[in-house]
């Protein structure tokens, strides 16, 4: 199988290449992309020898090209957004790992779907922002869409064979998305008012990038996953339930009409869903240690506290509102998280800014990608204006 890895230098990309390296007879890397981590991308190119490497800026492309040339590499270096879509839709590529974080990952992921690729979807924004548009392209092009988020991959594994989006026909009652609760699962309101970026990115179970770690701490990550599950499995909001599960051993469950509940379990390591999607419908070694139930010993479950985690409630609100609401939610969240990481907004201010943005941007339909990108622009612009009006907040 020939692969393009979008976001190769991030945590998902690195894990993907770890799995790929274990099976050199099965996988060939055609293209790797990394926004600005030139040294990391250069090392990956020397190891996997892709035909193409893509970075964001021309200056980074020049530096990468020099590093590779001096090492004797024949990898062709490209740069810019158009190059991302180019390597995602190359005729010789069979599968695309879509692991670019944020709205920047939408165009190349959509390009992969339009080209009929096997799309390994780790970029949740593609569905959060443009669910209807994206799923229509997948269907039209005959692309294969396999979820990489551990929760959605677990649901995929627990669904009826060849599930085609009909919960009633499949006998499915509910989708249960598990969540660790993040580092502030039991924190008091007083503690939450003092949260620092360093505390927010220290996830108790998973190793992730800074943005997604903050999303996990606010539980916006789980809210985005609720929206993503809606599109992946054609499930209405009231049939997707979030369950706090601190051990992160059960990755998600499917509740059936006959009383059965099927779950997928494993150690909290993203190489498991990555290996599953890479080899589907077969199974391959991922490098993840076997689950030791005796060491786990106990599994706990709690209802999410929406007062402590208002971002989760905002995501349900956006899903039910339909239209541009989810795209605006995502855009406002990206602005808010960036401001928090830069210490210009408090931790609790993240949800406040998102809520204010949702209130301020008029509802609208999203018939095509242009409308999606306009909703994203409006959300970012409004969130930035509200942030400026509130004044610089120090965390």
pLDDT at 202: 83
Asked if 94 and 136 sit in the same domain, the reply is yes
CATH number for the domain that contains residue 36: 3.40.50.720
Of 148, 179, 199, which residue is a domain's last?
Answer: 148
Asked if 13 and 141 sit in the same domain, the reply is yes
Instruction: Give the strand pairing for 240-244 and 250-256.
Output: unpaired
For the entire predicted model, the pTM comes to 0.91
Compute the 3-state secondary structure of the chain and give helix, strand, coil in percent, each to the nearest 5: 50, 15, 35
Asked if 113 and 9 sit in the same domain, the reply is yes
Asked if 228 and 353 sit in the same domain, the reply is no
Counted domains in the chain: 3
Of 246, 265, 284, which residue is a domain's last?
Answer: 265
Per the domain annotation, does 395 fall within a domain? no
Asked if 27 and 143 sit in the same domain, the reply is yes
pLDDT at 208: 67
Per-residue pLDDT of the chain (395 residues; tens, 9 = 90+): 999 999 999 999 999 999 999 999 999 999 999 999 999 999 999 999 999 999 999 999 999 999 999 999 999 999 999 999 999 999 999 999 999 987 889 999 999 999 999 999 998 888 999 999 999 999 999 999 999 999 999 999 999 988 989 999 999 999 999 999 989 999 999 999 999 999 998 866 666 678 888 999 999 999 999 999 999 999 999 999 999 999 999 999 999 999 999 999 999 999 999 999 999 999 999 999 999 999 999 999 999 999 889 999 999 999 999 999 999 999 999 999 999 999 999 999 999 999 999 999 999 999 998 999 999 999 999 999 999 998 744 43
pLDDT at 205: 62
Asked if 142 and 182 sit in the same domain, the reply is no
Asked if 113 and 207 sit in the same domain, the reply is no
Q: How is residue 162 written in tokens?
A: 């060849």
Helical spans, DSSP H, in the chain = 11-21, 38-48, 58-70, 81-88, 106-114, 125-141, 150-158, 167-170, 189-192, 197-200, 210-218, 220-233, 271-279, 293-296, 310-321, 325-341, 347-360, 369-390
Domain span at residue 57 reads 2-148
Asked if 52 and 103 sit in the same domain, the reply is yes
Of 248, 265, 282, which residue is a domain's last?
Answer: 265
Per the domain annotation, does 165 fall within a domain? yes
Asked if 137 and 160 sit in the same domain, the reply is no
Per the domain annotation, does 247 fall within a domain? yes
Per the domain annotation, does 107 fall within a domain? yes
Asked if 162 and 130 sit in the same domain, the reply is no
CATH number for the domain that contains residue 354: 1.10.1740.10
Per the domain annotation, does 317 fall within a domain? no
């Amino acid at each position: 199988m020939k692969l393009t890895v979008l976001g190769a230098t991030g945590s998902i990309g690195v894990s993907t290449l770890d799995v790929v390296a274990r099976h050199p007879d099965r996988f060939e890397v055609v293209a790797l992309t990394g926004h600005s981590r030139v040294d990391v991308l250069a090392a990956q190119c020397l190891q996997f020898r892709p035909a193409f490497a893509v970075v964001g800026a021309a200056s980074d492309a020049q530096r990468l090209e020099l590093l590779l040339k001096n090492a004797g590499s024949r990898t062709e270096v490209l740069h810019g957004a158009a190059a991302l879509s180019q390597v995602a839709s190359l005729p010789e590529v069979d599968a695309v790992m879509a692991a670019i974080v944020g709205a920047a990952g939408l165009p190349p992921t959509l390009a992969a779907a339009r080209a009929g690729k096997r799309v390994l979807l780790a970029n949740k924004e593609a569905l959060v922002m443009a669910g209807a548009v994206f799923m229509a392209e997948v269907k039209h092009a005959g692309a294969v869409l396999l979820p990489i988020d551990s929760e959605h991959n677990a649901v995929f594994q627990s669904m009826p064979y060849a599930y085609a989006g009909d919960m009633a026909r499949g006998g499915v009652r509910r989708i249960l998305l598990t969540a660790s609760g993040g580092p502030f699962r039991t924190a008091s309101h007083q503690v939450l008012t003092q949260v620092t970026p360093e505390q927010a990115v220290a996830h108790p179970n998973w190793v992730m990038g800074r943005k997604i770690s903050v999303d996990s701490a606010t539980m916006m990550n789980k809210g985005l996953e609720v929206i993503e599950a809606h599109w992946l499995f054609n499930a209405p909001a009231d049939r997707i339930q979030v369950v706090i599960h601190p051990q992160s051993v059960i990755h998600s469950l499917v509740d059936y009409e006959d009383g059965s509940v099927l779950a997928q379990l494993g150690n909290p390591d993203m190489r498991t869903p990555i290996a599953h999607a890479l080899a589907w419908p077969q199974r391959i070694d991922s490098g993840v240690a076997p689950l030791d139930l005796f060491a786990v010993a106990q599994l706990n479950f709690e209802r999410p506290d929406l007062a402590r985690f208002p971002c989760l409630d905002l995501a349900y609100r956006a899903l039910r509102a339909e239209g541009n609401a989810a795209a605006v939610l995502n855009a406002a969240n990206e602005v808010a998280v960036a401001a928090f990481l830069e210490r210009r907004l408090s931790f609790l201010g993240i949800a406040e800014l998102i809520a204010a943005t949702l209130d301020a941007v008029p509802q609208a339909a999203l018939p095509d990608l242009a409308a999606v990108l306009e909703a994203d622009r409006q959300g970012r612009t409004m969130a930035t204006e509200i942030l400026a009006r509130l004044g610089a907040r120090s965390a």
